[in-house]
Amino acid sequence: MELKKHIWMGIATAICFGCMPKKEKYTSYEQYPVRSGNLLEMEYAPQNTTFTLWAPTADGVNVSLYTTGSGGTPYRVIPMARDVEGTWTALVGDDLIGKYYTFNVQIDKQWLGETPGINARAVGVNGARGAIIDMHLTDPDGWKDDRRPPLASWADAVIYEMHHRDFSIHPSSGIREKGKFTALTEQGTRTPDGQSTGIDHLKELGITHVHLLPSYDFASIDETRLEENKYNWGYDPQNYNVPEGSYSTNPYNPVVRIREFKQMVQALHKAGIRVVLDVVYNHTFDTANSNFERTVPGYFYRHKPDGSFADGSACGNETASNRAMMRKYMVESVRYWINEYHLDGFRFDLMGIHDIETMNEIREAATAIDPSIIIYGEGWAANPPQYPADSLAMKANINRMPGIAAFSDELRDGLRGPFNDDMKGAFLAGIPGEEESIKFGIVGAIDYPFLNYNLVNYSKQAWAEQPTQLISYVSCHDDLCLVDRLRSCVQGDTPSMINKLDKLAQTVVFTSQGIPFIYAGEEVMRDKKGVHNSYQSPDSINAIDWNRKAQNADLFAYYKALIQLRKHHPAFRLGDAELVRRHLRFLPVKGGNLIAFRLTGNAGGDAWKEIIVAYNSRRENAEVTVPNGSYTLVCLDGVINEAGLRTVHGQTLDVPAQSALIAYSHER
């Protein structure tokens, strides 16, 4: 009976090949057909499995079936039939659950090499073969009831950027599944001296969003040799729509990595924390051997005039989001992560490589599911992309992408110094000249009439329509972390001084009108031993030592209080450009390294009628002139207490050296 079935399928395939559409000849990528509907390449049912691959330039396509996710040879190779819209199809009338598959495309008598396709949603170890599973079996208990924590406005977000290994790998974390997705499901974890870690630490700190560094299947870690403890950030895409195997407890089982990722999301949601995924659609780890290039050569990448691959990513290639199928792929991928994994946001790596139209379509797709989903990215590229600059999702074009935010390097470098010179300081180092760049960040990069844009470091005009289009930050995974940067550029630094400047830097971030963003571990004064680019450094460099939480208890308390201050007082998160222009006024000061502003008239409905904020990076106290009145100090000399530290009267406020001051008045 089995033999008869195989003979019949062979006859059917031959008949199909005899009547299948002819191969078209295309003179430009724009002529390639666009596949309608979804881009699924494998659709499983117990009765049969359908394979569909978009490969319009292929002369032939085979799908190979395997019993294992790696090693061995296929037990069956099935020629696929050319179908409509550039696709190839095959129907296998067996129950293939638990099997694996690859596609192989032939062009001009050359087989390009096996891949799991461009849209695999489950894979074997190291992602070389697609896996045939029942996705329903990947859902943890209660998954259907999983809900996003409430978020009234993007202005309410507090983002915490985290790498899985960094966060849990250190022995002091008290976490069992170190470096795994499930590390973020463990409750009650503690340091040896009893400090909370893991998900309890995040709840205690008060953040609203965890930003996960790339957690899809990336190529730079060998999942069969995890005992080597190899490290990478994950900006090496292999399979965009599958969780990374090295972060699962069993990379050989395709169901496990998916279920554990969902368990992580579910646990964070129950803790009141949303989940943002760092996505890297702008380039692939490999070029010639990538899933894209082995499927439709040339199409998914941009090229230079001489035909070589463009390299806006500085990683060997740049993808062509402007092409219809790449755009469709990106939109569908984001939609899939939202629907299947319940994600709450996306951070786009080198977003400036993508075109504006694609990013707006992604925003529209996310909004149709849930308008509160947050989208932000790096508004730049590593090298100039091969696409018109006025059509790219660069920071300067953010005002043409409503609902999408970009990182503010103006604020970042105005505080700590330029990206390309670790030794050069700025405001925090007591070097004058960057005050206007910091003010630019404070107002959220909007058009603000009381700002001298000619003095802003990188942008000579506003680029945001709304303050929620700016991500406020002073450091992230890339480049030196905050403590290391302060040590490298502040003359005569001491531990006490680093502590003070750390607090000052984050006070600027959290009292600015953009969306605040911090790098995991900085609340306990992590460092990376001065390593600038730690993407391949060992755990000894990257791991967060949670013993520091007790050692730097006052710093953690300050971060926690700063987050609560922002949450409790809508004046710091107005979320609307017109409200910022109406309620925020900078105060005149004498000399550099001093910035002060007022938030007036119950800004945003705040219970505090008028708020004064001042930042002093001088090594001596500074005096700020304010409207005559009575003021309650709530932040002074590295201490925050919303109930009030003390009350002062008059028209001057004394701001201690290298610190921030926040005061309020009920009189106006």
Residues designated catalytic: 349, 378
d(CA 665, CA 172): 44
| 230's tokens | 């190899």
Tokens, residue 535: 């993407």
d(CA 662, CA 526): 26
CA–CA separation, 646 and 648 (whole Å): 7
Q: Which of 214, 192, 189, 213 is nearest to 202 (CA)?
A: 189
CB-count burial class (<10 Å; 0-12, 13-18, 19+) for 203: middle
413, containing H or E segment: helix 409-416
Residue 403 vs residues 335, 371, 545: alpha-carbon distances, Å: 16, 9, 36
DSSP notation for 7-51: HHHHHHHHHHHHHSPPPP--SSGGGS----S---SEEE-SS-EEE
State both tokens at 102.
């690859």
* DSSP 8-state code for residue 13: H
Contact assessment for residue 303 and residue 297, using Cβ atoms and an 8 Å cutoff: no
Two structure tokens written together for 45: 């049912």
Token duo for residue 364: 């529209």
DSSP of 532-600: S--TT--HHHHS--TTHHHHTHHHHHHHHHHHHHHHH-GGG----HHHHHHHEEEPP-SSSSEEEEEE-
Handedness of CA 516, 208, 579, 604 (dihedral sign): negative
Q: What is the largest CA-CA distance in the chain?
A: 97
Rounded Cα distance between 576 and 578, Å, is 6
Structure tokens at 213: 């560094």
CA 637 vs. chain centroid, Å, equals 33
CA end-to-end span of the chain: 89
Cβ-based neighbours of 6, under 8 Å, separated by 6 or more: none
Report CA torsion sign: 249, 251, 254, 258.
Answer: positive
Q: Which two tokens stand for residue 569?
A: 């007082």
Which residue do the tokens 């002074």 mark? 636
CA distance 426 to 97: 59
Burial class (CB in 10 A: 0-12, 13-18, 19+), 109: exposed
- Closest residue by Cα to residue 436 from 419, 425, 420, 452: 452
Structure tokens at 252: 């050989």
- The DSSP element (H or E) to which 455 belongs, if any, is none
